[in-house]
Structure 1
């Protein structure tokens, strides 16, 4: 298989490239050169937001294009238009955020979608992903487009600061504010499981949208944080704290306490996606302990310094706020 990866040096893109290389595929990367790309691929440098940003592609042709772009949809439009006659299939890593609020999870992939346009410039993340979907289907048609609506993505290579923040915090040890309830169900996908399914689905010729995330309750908040304690080997003491007490302390879910959302509307939005379609077509999700342990091993290889995407806010609770909440 001849794969063109647009990007490929970051979190999800790198996992896809690594998986493709492990299958002995012929992999070409088009990226801006901000990070070192995986070895073994043909590397072309180009900034897709520039007027001539796709020039490095020349007259090349590919079996498959994979795109993780999450900014201005017009960049997806330009790439898809340029490749429509030079590639067989286009896989776009989209997001469950493209569904309109309130989300009807029972409708699965047929749910009501946000408005968006492939011609948009700088728009919020949900509209950017929806515009990207429309750009791909506009150029490649429904039959040659595969739209992967991912939820929370975790695993080695994470550069957003969710699981990595928890691992860093728990590795420091001591009393840890653990947001309850302990049995709160989570739903996410390991980036490597996403990569495996995406490439296998493309080879099989699957098309259309897929909610690509684990089943609801694949893990719990307790299982996740206990796996962090086990992986780091720290003396951290998880102090399970009720959502009401966390709210009273003014601590924000999802951002100050990454991954966590209290029971209610936000939790249902984040962790209630219907994923039967993807599982019927072969999705498999590894245990949370494996994701956590492998992410910690990867962080240690980096010297314990978590990478951070420059276009995303820094997540996590300050030590001062945590201490105050624990005292309260």
Structure 2
């Protein structure tokens, strides 16, 4: 190959790799065609450049812009099926799955590039129709059968636009949710960029953050629905595990209780969600750590799960770090 053409070819490779993060699959295909054309010009063997083909497959989690990915392995120890959801941060790529079904005892592994930030949670008590799509039909039917007053049919309640949560011992959200807890409103297993409705226990991650470290926590700021643990793999004291293994639903204060249509507590709301007041949400004049101390409600969470975030300014005892590059094992109902 002549030297000028070789230089041109190398420049094209460098420009392409530098812009890979923002490229769509269609752009990658076009670039492959361009490389094929260069191959015919330079009489090169494509086999010798096969790594380029791997790079341009698009959304390949084994490599992201030249950085190896890490693996999140999820396990369901709950005695029933759950549907974990994933949500990437605003500047992070969407993972290959945004939601999946996880039966009792099953595991599922999902790769993420570094840097990456986002959260995981689990949906529970989901209702599906004959096609496998999530449906509200079962929830509506159950509510209609259990309403205490003769004239309070579902259609009547909706027509009145009354706050059902305040007038009946059932959750308004159950009328509109396809999953009783953590529902993301997508109507299917994938959440497609939508977060879970509170109350929901969260596992939050920032991979490849400051000083080349991962930051992770379990958060109850959005309330609690299922016990959860996060265990870094293959490391010891340098990367501590964290968990909220207690079932907060069993002793959840009545003012925070999130109930199903039978009146059973299936979630425990945060004080912010339950009361929507600045002193509980750390907003307005309460927006600093000095003006927004723990409340009796957040202390219930903290006493049960001392490693988890119990309210907005619970950083010192709830955020953990680990050198970037380790894999994580996430267990529901550990």
Q: TM-score range by the shorter chain?
A: under 0.3
Larger radius of gyration: 2
Name the structure where helix makes up a greater proportion of residues: 1
TM (norm. structure 2) is 0.26
